[in-house]
Structure 1
């Protein structure tokens, strides 16, 4: 029964991530990139100013500051996808998959500008009067009630896409690898680790969105800096190989020789899938978090959201990829994603220092993602069945952590990938239809900015 289900999920994942979805994600993102006139990209400095709290007003509607909203969204994206996901991309698609991750990140920045601007522009409220954002509210508030089936479709897919399966699975695998648990004891160890992870996660997520925001605001800067220093150390030790690594990424991106059968289309899909798993641009999760930001200016939150893919994919994922490729271990390696990263780091750094640092980073990365994803699932369930039912989501979430810690990685990836693909359809479609609203609001906002309307 399990093998049959695994086969069905795998085939569905391969089917749904076909050329039509690739065109929707990359084509839609490229359209938004061009349609924006690149205007938002010229205001990155202003985006940083917004992020630092320069324009914050405490009486604005919402629950989180711009910084907390971005930190929470990045906490969800800078996670296992950046360590294990990149390794999986290289193992299945070769170095060229990284190039397509970069392409996806650039168009993803434009996608996030539009989706997260809309999440503030068309916010809703739950039964208790709390401000809520996300594609389901953008669809119903922006497109009209007749589009509600599309909003329900997103929320239903989101229930599965935001489950903590991948994070819990790879976190337990990391700890088992690092502590070299004997084969006979692995299942018991994973179960005990899963229970422990579930308890720690529960202590945060039952405190609600404000506690999640505060914890994420503290964890994100620490984890990015520690990881940055570690990978830069590896690259310095392998500095002579860095130019050839970049050359390999670019040449392999168009040859597709690392993929079985040399299929370039498969290579592109691999890069886009892993980038989507990493930065979530176009999937609709980040807008749920950014939609809770304390602001009356939708464009400000769109600008802040743009920083997400830059930090997540262009910085963190690239560093992971360079470290793995510099080690040379990736060629012919047999094992799961996180194991490849651990071996790659250990092969360059002395005395198992790589495993120690990766374990610390994985703990922070995975837990920050686990904390944030619970809010996404809670939002989806609350939208579908009301806030009274939504409050039970965290219990389902905690149980899922335990189950996911002991099942196979391939099954987990296929379930999450399939849900992500389904979430992207309503998110990108609604964004493309409402894009003129964002462009009009952006023109007005940047005009007022130039006139000094926000100087006081």
Structure 2
């Protein structure tokens, strides 16, 4: 499903949002930071979590294994040029998130228990009408499987196996099942403790966990880049030149390189998939545009900053030239090359934080999707299915895991982007009204 039509929908749709909004996500970047700091928070507004907690919850899912493993997968499959197309997905993704997350507040609906909910399925039914419900059901059905934590569990068990279990002699190099199964069961216990408390507990945990994990990871990568600082200009140039030659993919298939870069970029920042709208739709606010502005900060933090740092660490250390390593192992090799004494342990700490934070938010996404399909009174069943899938992800192959997740994300993107494009004029109406009230309407005259 990740062919050029879907790439056109995501990138073309994002470009449309960017131009149609007259680059509002970029013009109001400072105002978005003020909102994020809590300047406009009102505890009496409808919703469950603050603007900051909503962004932290969304980032907990996006600033995760996609930044450590997803970038490595992109470089392994597409070479340095894949990062350029990840950047493209991030810039247009900022505009996409502005629209989709504004809509998540603008067209919040009520579940079967009468509680206010936001997300693409409610945007479709409330904004487009009941006749569009099959499209909403498609999103919700794919949303049950797309956010499963199997990629995070897979990559976490892989790095623990390679760095701890095998070197310590706990498992044989060719006998993975035992150690991976134990890791999966431990993860089930940890994740269950948080996710059964709902979005309020998830928001509080992620708002503390996300800043800490980003600081730790960024600090480690900055040390690696400082050690290889003389290599950075060359590889920055290679990223741009390789993006239009596709030498690393299928003997020069640029189209395949674009698909790989966009695919991994979207997996990283989730712009246009609809998961971002599920998180931001829970924010305490009456102003749709405010949440759209907060949401558009996500791709900047996630893909443009964090993914770029990971990619440069892999490139400047030269480990990307190895054809054996893929996923988190490739990033691990970069850490070990630059920081031979402590690199392994630092990355293990980062992976544990990143993987667990993603698992916490993803559970909320699937719960809301199941609740939409079969009723809020039954949505808690999803958490049992969710934690059970952790064990599957721990023992499955990375290829099977990526194929399942990518396929479901592709299905989620179609309803999200279609509804966003159709309802874009409603967002602009809300934007004109909002910016007029804060004294900046002159930019829209």
The residue aligned with 2:32 is: 47
Runs of 4+ in structure 1 deviating by more than 4 angstroms, as ranges, are: none
2:422 aligned to 418, 425, 433, which one?
A: 433
Please list the CA deviations of residues 314-362 of structure 1 after superposition, one character each: whole Å capped at 9, or x if unmatched. 01000000000011011133033111110111001131x1111111111
Distance in 2 (alpha carbons) for counterparts of 1:246 and 1:131? 46
Partner of 2:399: 410
* Residue 274 (structure 2) pairs with residue 284 (structure 1): yes
Structure 1 length-normalised TM = 0.94
Number of the residue aligned with 1:13: none
Residue 165 of structure 1 corresponds to 150
Answering whether residue 190 of structure 2 is matched by residue 200 of structure 1, we say yes
Note the alpha carbon deviations across 1:225-249, whole angstroms, 9 max, x for none.
1111111111111010000010110
SS at match of 1:54: coil
Query: How far apart in 2 are the matches of 1:247 and 1:185?
Result: 42
Does residue 131 of structure 2 align to residue 146 of structure 1?
yes
- Write the deviation string for residues 52-76 of structure 1: whole angstroms up to 9, x where unpaired: 1000011000000000000000001
Residue-pair matches, total = 436
- Contact 1:333–1:340 (CA under 8 A) maintained in structure 2: no
In the alignment, structure 1 residue 324 sits paired with structure 2 residue 335: no
Matched, 1:233 2:233: no
Are the equivalent residues in 1 in contact too, given 2:25–2:94 (CA < 8 A)? Answer: no
Looking at structure 2, the residues matched to 350 and 195 of structure 1 have their Cα atoms a distance apart, in angstroms, of 31
Aligned partner of 1:5 in structure 2 is: none
Q: Which residue of the other structure, out of 408, 429, 437, is the alignment partner of 1:419?
A: 408
Q: 1:59 maps to which residue?
A: 44
Please name the residue that 1:395 is paired with: 384
1:223 to 213, 221, 230: 213
Residue-by-residue CA offset, 1:34-87 (whole Å, 9 max, x unaligned): 111012311111100000100001100000000000000000101101000000
Q: Provide the TM-score with structure 2 as the length reference.
A: 0.97
Say whether residues 1:104 and 2:67 are aligned partners: no
Deviation at 1:17, TM superposition (A): 0.7
DSSP 3-state at the match of 1:255: coil
Aligned residue runs from structure 1 range 437-448, under 5 A? 437-448=426-437
Q: Check whether the contact 1:63–1:131 (CA below 8 A) recurs between aligned residues.
A: no
User: What is aligned with 2:366?
Assistant: 377
Partner of 1:30: 15
Instruction: State how far apart, in whole Å, the 1-side matches of 2:287 and 2:268 are.
Output: 27
Gap runs ≥5 in structure 2 = 167-171
| Partner residue in 1 for 2:252 | 262
Hey, what does 1:343 align to over in structure 2? 333
CA-to-aligned-CA distance 1:253-289 (integer Å, 9 cap, x gap): 0010011221000000000000111000000001011
Q: Partner of 1:236: helix, strand, or coil? A: helix
Mark the runs of 5 or more structure 1 residues left unpaired by the alignment.
1-15
Residue 11 (structure 1) aligns with: none
Contact 2:18–2:24, Cα closer than 8 Å, also in 1: no
SS at match of 1:62: coil
Could you say if the C-alpha distance between residues 293 and 189 of structure 1 is closer, same or farther in structure 2, counting changes exceeding 3 Å?
same
Whole-Å separation in 2 of the counterparts to 1:324 and 1:223: 19
Mapped partners of 2:322, 2:308: distance in 1? 21
